[in-house]
Structure 1
Amino acid sequence: MPAFSHSTTTASTAIAVPPSLSLPVIEAAFPRRLHPYWPRLQEKTRVWLLEKRLMPADKIREYADGLCYTDLMAGYYSGAPDEVLQAIADYSAWFFVWDDRHDRDIVYGRPDAWRRLRFRLHAALDSPRHHLLHPDPLVAGFADCMMRIYSFLPATWNARFARHFHAVIEAYDREFRNRSEGNIPTVEEYLALRRLTFAHWIWTDLLEASAGCELPDSIRKHPGYRRAALLSQEFAAWYNDLCSLPKEIAGDEVHNLGISLIKHEGLTLEDAVAEVRRRIEECIADFLVAEQGTLRLADRLDDGTVRGMELSAAVRSCLGNMRNWFSSVYWFHHESGRYMVDSWDDRSTPPYVNNEAAGEK
């Protein structure tokens, strides 16, 4: 049963969360919100995945809704215009498909296929219009997402988004090499890499698209705002690590905070899980402090001018959606078939992935 009612924007949960993954503070203090466009969003993203050939039709029918990719975004970017949320949701679904292709290219030893895809994504990021008809569906789908996302805010925001995503692509390449060589990064190396592979600043940039306002550097780099943004993303990345640990151990992964703690800090599996939980709980507490500082910033910005009112409202929108990220990520991990490894025939092979290197036939 979903953690929300489809007819409302908030609801109490009805999902039994395993004690090892339960975070009572999220369930009590971070109410889940759902964008009212969600039912249409889910339907249109399913159609988009099919039209762009990003998943086989049978896998879309069987798995797309249960993977809950649209639920994750509909619970995050509250208040976004429908067309903005649709573009973000399609991009998010693309991102998961890309992540799966990256994983399969590693598992099946396809470095040449990965290298070609890496260079094509860099090119499509800078010139999406020229890649809309690319024979690799992953490249064409990405170009379609970028054309839409680039239409919402000025060229300065687009350049920042592109810069951030170029860095994400390169981080995925470092992850490819680490996994291919069996190199488990140290805790500090992992945390720095994770901020890129989880695309912390991409999802934060998209908060501005949701709010319909590009924020100036003075706000984005304000210590309170930047810390609140970072903590919301760190929570998501580390909670994902906690929930993904069984899947990633089964798949011989090397990128997980728990795995780095075991390898480099000498922790047992039980102690590593406890340490990841401690960091997650500390992250939540620190966010609540940063949230108050950012609300004070929003108050100061509202100086009676039209521009001041606009910036204040945008900061409040972005901050409110940072808060939404906690609950949306939390419940996503307990609803999505992406993490239900016990139901898979092979715990190391997700049933919803295509094992072929598309575009390489």
Structure 2
Amino acid sequence: MQRLAPLPIPPFYCPLPGALHPQWEAVNRRSVEWLEEFGLFESRRQYERLVDARVGELVGRVSPRGGPEALQVAADFYQWLFAFDDAYCDEGALGSRPEALVVELARILRAAETPGNAAPDGEGYLDALRDLRLRLDRIATPVQTNRWVEALRGYFFFQVWEAANRSRGTIPTLDEYTVARMQSGAVKATMMLLDVAEGYELPAAEMDHPLTRALTEMACTVIDWDNDIASHHKESLRSQDHQNLRDILAHEHDLSQQEALRRAIAMRDRVMVHFLRLKQAADATESVARSRYVTSLCDWIRGNLDWQVSTNRYRNPENPVVLESGFAERPSTELTDPLPIPSVQWWWDPGLLLPGHGERECPMGGLRAG
């Protein structure tokens, strides 16, 4: 694929309200101090990139009602993820060496699983992850910490998957990439801190319910696809692994970059529209805890878009993409049927997500329950 000039990115469709925690600047400042304490950077340039990411603003938009201690843990975890991504993934030293990467990830993961088993050993990323787990234990339930560890395990697994693709020069299919992207962006791991931030626990029966799982997967997909759409040009200047939604669409369907961009936006809009329908269904279940969690998913989707405009994390200041201001009033497509991606078509199955709802009663609009 040829490297092309950046294409203007039209406004995203996102009819969700935005909010920002009033203490985000203090949280951001302390997170930079935490970054320095553990030395999670290898050069001045990397340090400046991490500071420019403004993780305090991101977490302040994702959890605008969060408590101070939980908000700080979340911000420091985001900081860890960005630093870790730079050091180990994508363009990192092990980003194309899956055999070496999986050994290192297994060792680092153990610090999150059993943080009390060993004293700090001078390894920044391992020690910092251990610190996060110990702090999380003070404010979260065992169920919540276990969810976080398991989501982190999923993130690590798909980092190895990406490294294997790079080592072989493989471009995944759209179906394969859609499944992987829900985990590889680490958004799901951060979502396991949403109820922690607000001081409640979403019961397991509700977290694991197909409706909640579908909403979580759809939110992950919208967020990560939005990042793919906005960051494509920056990534193409730094890497040519083509593990980006726009490149995969161009490769799989023999599209120009302009047409791939158009199709990527139409796909994310179809997921966004269906997410809003499912949110209505979740609100109708009269579960206060699930409604709070789904509201936080909405905050993540909208907060990510607001944050993208202000951060340099997904931009190249020397060769920037034009992000048109504002939000689109309507989705870019009228299509509401399931995406032609086999692994996620279950999102559109009301019989699975809303058992007991007949075809006429189903709030998912026009889809059969059978």
Q: Which residue of 2 aligns with 1:316?
A: 291
Out of 260, 269, 283, which is 2:248 matched to?
A: 260
Out of 213, 219, 224, which is 2:211 matched to?
A: 224
- Aligned CA distance change for structure 1 residues 270 and 294 (closer, same or farther; 3 Å): same
| Higher deviation after alignment, 256-265 or 89-98 | 256-265
| Higher deviation after alignment, 83-92 or 177-186 | 177-186
- Aligned CA distance change for structure 1 residues 169 and 131 (closer, same or farther; 3 Å): farther
Gaps of 5+ in 1: 1-17, 302-311, 346-361
TM-superposed CA distance for 1:36, in Å, is 1.4
Q: Which residue of 1 aligns with 2:227?
A: 240
For residues 108 and 163 of structure 1, what CA distance do their matches in structure 2 show? 22
1:76-124 per-position Cα deviation (integer Å, ceiling 9, x unaligned):
0121111001000000010011111123335886667634531221221
Out of 260, 265, 277, which is 1:272 matched to?
A: 260
Aligned partners of 2:94 and 2:100 also within 8 Å: no
Aligned partners of 1:105 and 1:114 also within 8 Å: no
With the length of structure 2 as denominator, give the TM-score of the two structures: 0.77
Aligned partners of 1:236 and 1:329 also within 8 Å: yes
Aligned positions, number: 312
Out of 109, 125, 130, which is 1:143 matched to?
A: 130
Give the counterpart letter for 1:296 in structure 2. Answer: A
1:22-81 per-position Cα deviation (integer Å, ceiling 9, x unaligned):
12x32xx32321111212101100110011111368458744442222211110012111
| Higher deviation after alignment, 110-119 or 239-248 | 110-119
- Aligned CA distance change for structure 1 residues 160 and 327 (closer, same or farther; 3 Å): closer
**Secondary structure of the residue that 2:192 maps to in structure 1?**
helix
Give the counterpart letter for 2:159 in structure 1. Answer: Y
Q: Which residue of 1 aligns with 2:156?
A: 169
Mapping for residues 118-197 of structure 1, pairs under 5 Å: 118-130=105-117, 133-197=120-184
With the length of structure 1 as denominator, give the TM-score of the two structures: 0.79
User: What's the Cα RMSD here?
Assistant: 2.5
**Secondary structure of the residue that 1:75 maps to in structure 2?**
helix
Gaps of 5+ in 2: 1-6, 321-370
Q: Does 1:38 align with 2:24?
A: yes
Q: Which residue of 1 aligns with 2:337?
A: none
Out of 185, 202, 206, which is 1:198 matched to?
A: 185
TM-superposed CA distance for 1:131, in Å, is 5.1
Out of 55, 59, 74, which is 1:88 matched to?
A: 74
**Secondary structure of the residue that 1:247 maps to in structure 2?**
helix
TM-superposed CA distance for 1:253, in Å, is 2.2
- Aligned CA distance change for structure 1 residues 106 and 59 (closer, same or farther; 3 Å): closer
1:123-174 per-position Cα deviation (integer Å, ceiling 9, x unaligned):
2121123455132211111111122123322223322322222121111111
For residues 54 and 270 of structure 1, what CA distance do their matches in structure 2 show? 37
**Secondary structure of the residue that 1:337 maps to in structure 2?**
coil
For residues 237 and 191 of structure 1, what CA distance do their matches in structure 2 show? 10
**Secondary structure of the residue that 1:264 maps to in structure 2?**
helix
- Aligned CA distance change for structure 1 residues 343 and 294 (closer, same or farther; 3 Å): same
Q: Which residue of 1 aligns with 2:312?
A: 337
More helix by share: 1
